[in-house]
Structure 1
């Protein structure tokens, strides 16, 4: 029931943004059969090093959105968010570790040589700043439970995009690249279950507050749009890493 309800009432709001996952020139370049392996490695380095900024606050956002949802009477969805928040604690630590391992791997056989700490301290892109803002705005806004839509879109991204990325990385960089892809690998596996749970929560939420469907749908679409732009930033920075610095 919840799946059908979500498909009917929610998906129309996010369909156009989801389609960009297949049409984005940056992501198409990344998954191109003729891709330069350095672009894939560089993308993974940027995804993890920049991703720390976006992942570190996640458990706090989900918990606070859950607490705000309970306060406004959406007890069931709110309590589920609070429980889910515990599963997200410390995931940024995997990204830090993966960054260090990927950089060490890059430095063994590529130039220019990279500094993991410098990468972890890069200035955030506009999309990264917007990603933090949409969470904060949702928590204090009229529908904090729309956090469910954010979770649904971002965790679904792990389900639909991460497997292809892992296959591409293994194909062009070698099987051993997986040793430095703990974050991507774990989320590709875990987020199948999380996405199913989010779908149930979303269906329940939409049936409880049908008048808020548009707000919830737009929140999910906006979050996914921001994250796709972030992934584009990672590809762009990876392309710059492949070029030796000017003398």
Structure 2
């Protein structure tokens, strides 16, 4: 029943955003069979170093959204969010370690030489600021339970995009690149289960407040669009790294 509700009431609102994952020029360039290996390596460096800003607050966002959801009377969904928050704590630490490993690898065979700390302290892009804002706005807004939709879309992204990214990275950079992709690898694996759980939560939410399907769906779509913009920023920054190397 929950799956049917998600397909009927929710999915139409996220269809366009999900399609962009297949058509976005930056992501198509990243997965192109003729890609410059340095672009993929640079992308991974940017994804992890910039991603810390977006990943560190995640457990707090989910917990606070859960607490606000309980307060509005949607106790089951709220408590499930609070429980889920505990699973997300500390994931940014993997991104920090992966950044350091990827930078060390880059510095062995590419120029210009990179500084991991400088990369980790880059100013946030607009997409990164937008990502923080959509969480904060959802938590204090009229439908904090829409956090479930954000989780559903972003964790599903790990399921549908990460395997192709890992295959591309291994193909152009060698199998040992996986030693520096702990965050991507772990999320590709665990987010299969998280996505299934999110779908159940979303179905439960829609069964209780079907009239909120549009706002929930639009929240999920917006979060996914922002994350795609962030990944495009990472591709753009990787391209700048290549230009610096060629100069």
TM-score bin, normalised by smaller chain: over 0.9
Q: How large is the Cα RMSD of the aligned pairs?
A: 0.9
Gaps of 5+ in 1: none
Spell out, residue by residue over 1:13-61, the C-alpha distance to the aligned partner (whole angstroms, 9 max, x if none). Answer: 0000100000000000000000000000000000000000000000000
**Residue 23 of structure 1 pairs with residue 23 of structure 2:** yes
Alignment TM-score, normalising by the size of structure 1: 0.99
Equivalents in 1 of 2:178, 2:6: separation in Å?
34
Equivalents in 1 of 2:101, 2:148: separation in Å?
32
Q: How does 1:109-188 map to 2 (within 5 A)?
A: 109-188=109-188
**Residue 227 of structure 1 pairs with residue 227 of structure 2:** yes
2:212 matched to which residue of 1? Answer: 212
- Number of residue equivalences: 247
1:47 matched to which residue of 2? Answer: 47
Q: 2:111·2:245 contact (CA, 8 Å) conserved in 1?
A: no
**Residue 201 of structure 1 pairs with residue 206 of structure 2:** no
Equivalents in 2 of 1:49, 1:146: separation in Å?
28
Alignment TM-score, normalising by the size of structure 2: 0.99
Equivalents in 2 of 1:66, 1:111: separation in Å?
46
Spell out, residue by residue over 1:114-160, the C-alpha distance to the aligned partner (whole angstroms, 9 max, x if none). Answer: 00000000000000000000000000000000000000000000000
Equivalents in 1 of 2:95, 2:217: separation in Å?
29
1:244 matched to which residue of 2? Answer: 244
Equivalents in 2 of 1:34, 1:245: separation in Å?
19
Equivalents in 1 of 2:228, 2:93: separation in Å?
22
Gaps of 5+ in 2: none
The offset of 1:243, in angstroms, is 1.5
Secondary structure of 1:123's partner? coil
Equivalents in 2 of 1:169, 1:246: separation in Å?
21
Equivalents in 2 of 1:217, 1:243: separation in Å?
39
Secondary structure of 1:19's partner? helix
1:12 matched to which residue of 2? Answer: 12
Equivalents in 2 of 1:244, 1:18: separation in Å?
33
Equivalents in 1 of 2:148, 2:174: separation in Å?
36
